[in-house]
Amino acid sequence: GNPAGKGSASRGGSRSIMFMQYQAEFQAVASEAATKLQNAKAYSDNPMHAQTRPEILRSAEPLLKQACDLVKQMDVEVRSAEGGQRRLLSERARPIRDELKRLQSDFREIQERLDRENLLGGARIGSNDAVVRGRLADANVRAQQQTQIIRGALEIAHDTEQVAMDITSELERNRETITNIRGHIADTSGALGTARSLIASMQKREVQQKAILSFVAIILLGSIGTVMYYAFK
Compute φ and ψ for 125, nearest 5 degrees.
-95, 150
The share of the chain scoring above pLDDT 90, in percent, equals 29
SS3 content of the chain, % helix, strand, coil (to 5): 95, 0, 5
The predicted pLDDT at position 196 comes to: 81
Low-confidence ranges of the chain (pLDDT < 50): 4, 123-128, 149
**Residue ranges of the alpha helices (H) in 44-82?**
52-80
Closest CA to 111 of 147, 70, 149: 147
Whether residue 53 contacts residue 136, with contact meaning beta carbons closer than 8 Å, is answered with no
Burial environment of residue 140 by CB neighbours within 10 A (0 to 12, 13 to 18, 19 or more) = middle
Residues 50-80 have pLDDT tens digits of 567 888 889 999 999 999 999 999 999 999 9
Q: pLDDT for 176-197, tens place per residue?
A: 777 777 777 767 667 677 768 8
